A and B are shown apart, each in its own frame.
Chain A
């Protein structure tokens, strides 16, 4: 590019064309509205605060597709969604209104199960089969990995159940935190062991 440092003509042009305060935010919202109307926003997302830290919520037209903890790195999660599903991703909080509300109610102790459309397209096969069954473990209860393996009809697939829980794309909403070690200790969790213990404590206290 031609050097423009100190070029008064360019400075003048930059001065008069500068976006005003709020212009780009308003245009962004307008773009999201138009993209939703045209059905070309493949994934909308937002971030919400929670007692276990900021959560990324992402949804396709089909439903909630990803809930991610901050330690998973939200930018990395969005990049993965772009590569696995579609790069047509924008911040679109309205699409997540119902999910944000229900998760808020859950943490406030006013909700024991989620009633949200979900999209399991990030997981396949046995893992998805396990994840779909996890909501059968009710609020406040826990099961061991072995018990879940038996629950899904593959009693020997304990390790595979562990992997299914570890790769759950919808933590909290799909309650993989209710699957614990046979000795009762919490076990691993994508959101960190502390988050898992916090969710279990919240459900015991409610």
Chain B
């Protein structure tokens, strides 16, 4: 076997290139689904560690970004469940009690927005993202941040392709309203 000779065919790119190409998108998805919280970075790390482990078996020509989003979806669910097993601190009970019937969503109550310029406006957008029903938030993140087709999203979150499309439209409309509010507030400062 020559070190130099021979074309590189039917092979995968080094995993380093996968991280470079998709790392930012997967982080956006994790943040959108889990909130501005260290859990989002944990989900990113778990996602890429699982992807690295399975990478040699991934069929050549597979849609790598869709594959990563699928893993990220499952890791976010794992993290959410682990979170729910933790005891809820006393000072967070009133908020939970204030949302009777609200499903146990992935958002940790009291998520802290990024500090810095525009934090107040960002906080409004985060609040709007947090207020989305879980499924809307997931569908918006997977479709608008990671370009995952609705058919694939439906397979991930359940329901029909049309339902996924409708959830995305509803979700993005809710965010648009919040964005308009945040922009107004920003202009006032």
Which A residues fall within an 8 A CB radius of B? 1-2, 4, 7-20, 23-24, 27-28, 30-31, 34-35, 38, 40-41, 43, 45, 66, 72, 76, 78-84, 86-91, 122-124, 166-169, 190
**Can you spell out 17 A-B residue pairs with CB atoms less than 8 angstroms apart?**
A7-B176, A9-B171, A9-B175, A9-B178, A13-B145, A15-B125, A16-B36, A35-B49, A41-B52, A78-B14, A82-B11, A83-B8, A87-B13, A87-B15, A87-B55, A87-B56, A88-B52
Question: Which residues on B sit within 8 Å (CB–CB) of A7?
Answer: 144, 172, 176
> Which 10 residue pairs are nearest across A and B when measured between Cβ atoms?
A9-B175, A12-B179, A83-B11, A89-B14, A9-B176, A17-B28, A87-B12, A9-B172, A17-B31, A1-B147
Residue positions of B touching A, CB distance < 8 A:
1-4, 8-16, 19, 23-24, 27-29, 31-32, 36, 41, 44-45, 48-49, 52-53, 55-56, 113-114, 122, 125-126, 128-129, 140-141, 143-145, 147, 149, 168, 171-176, 178-180, 182-183
Q: How many angstroms between the C-alpha atoms of A27 and B176 in the bound complex? A: 30
Contact B1–A122 (Cβ < 8 Å): yes
Given contacts A1-B143, A8-B180, 4 further A-B contacts (CB under 8 A): A10-B172, A13-B145, A18-B28, A28-B23
Alpha-carbon gap, A28 to B17, bound state (A): 12
A28 to B12, CA, bound (A): 20
Chain B residues with Cβ below 8 Å from A9 are 140, 144, 171-176, 178-179
Minimum Cβ distance to chain A for residue B1 (Å) = 5
Given A8-B176, A167-B2, A2:B31 Cβ within 8 A: no
Q: Which chain A positions have C-beta within 8 A of B4?
A: 72, 166-167, 190
Contact of B122 among A8, A16, A34, A87 (CB under 8 A): A16
Q: How far is the CA of A20 from the CA of B28 in the complex (A)?
A: 11
Asked if residues A90 and B1 are in contact (CB atoms below 8 Å), the reply is no
* CB of B66 to closest CB in A, whole Å: 12
A8-B179, A13-B175 given as contacts; is B53 within 8 A of A19 (CB)?
no
Q: How far is the CB of B114 from chain A (nearest CB, A)?
A: 7
Q: Given A9-B179, A12-B182, A13-B145, A124–B24 Cβ distance below 8 Å?
A: no
Contacts of A19 on B, CB cut-off 8 Å? 23-24, 27-28
* CA gap between A168 and B3 in the complex, in Å: 8
Known A8-B179, A15-B125: A40·B52 in contact at CB below 8 Å: yes
Task: From known contacts A18-B28, A28-B23, A89-B15, infer whether A34 and B129 are also in contact, taking CB-CB under 8 Å.
Answer: no
What chain A residues lie within 8 Å of B8 (beta carbons)? Answer: 76, 79-80, 82-83
Inter-chain contact A78/B16, CB cutoff 8 Å: yes
- Known contacts: A1-B143, A2-B143, A88-B55. The answer to whether A27 contacts B3 by CB under 8 A is no
Closest Cβ neighbor of A20 among chain B residues = B114
CA distance A24 to B29 in the complex (A): 14
- Counting chain B CB atoms within 10 Å of each CB, the highest count among A10, A13, A78, A83 belongs to A13
Using CB atoms, name the residue of chain A closest to B40: A17
A35 pairs with B52, CB closer than 8 A: yes
* Contact between B32 and A17, CB atoms less than 8 A apart: yes
Residue of A nearest to B126 (CB): A16
- Decide: A11 near B179, CB < 8 A? Known: A27-B27, A76-B8: yes
Chain A min CB distance to B20 (Å): 9
A1 to B69, CA, bound (A): 15
Q: Give Cα A30 to B47, complex, Å.
A: 12
Q: Which residue of A lies closest to B2 (CB)?
A: A167
